[in-house]
Amino acid sequence: MSTLTILQRGEPVLSAIAKPITNVHTADIKQLIEDLKATVAQANGVGIAAPQVGKSVRLFIMCSAPSERYPDAPLLAPAVIINPEILSASTQQVLGWEGCLSVKGKRALVSRHQSISVRYLDEQGQAHQLTFTDFLARIFQHELDHLDGITFIERLDHEADAIDEQTWRATMASNNDK
């Protein structure tokens, strides 16, 4: 298991549509899963998609725990999500702050569906159909976007709506003082 270099916005693989995985049991896929887990842990992220490390396949890791970046995050052990799809989504959308390991130093309010029903394979090739809400739904949608060549910046009306991390921290600190 090793950590991989996280590519930054502008790399062509981050704007490409990733290919489905036809066999989850190959040595390459198993190694990629382990490396993604190590990489997201080292980066203190709540998710990472294969394209972010230069692999254009439909695979991401979701993991969540409270941190400096996401103090209210729920606990979720690393979950391997292969060939994901959203089956249905709530009409209600909510704004929430997002950052990205591939868009260093930027934050923005992004509108996402509050609840989604999804289908995917796990690392053993077992099919799952679940409903995610709130922050976990946000992670799933954010990582799925990576598989479709989209970063959260492309979800904004204007790129200038993204703020730098320092301004975001100051905004959060002043909101907590109220």
Closest CA to 104 of 4, 7, 17: 7
DSSP character string of 17-81: PPBPPS-TTSHHHHHHHHHHHHHHHHTT-SEEEGGGGT--BSEEEEEE---SS-TTPPPEEEEEE
Of the residues 143, 154, 159, 165, which is catalytic? 143
Let me know if 165 is a catalytic residue. Answer: no
Placement of tokens 């690392």 in the chain: 123
* Residues tagged active-site: 143
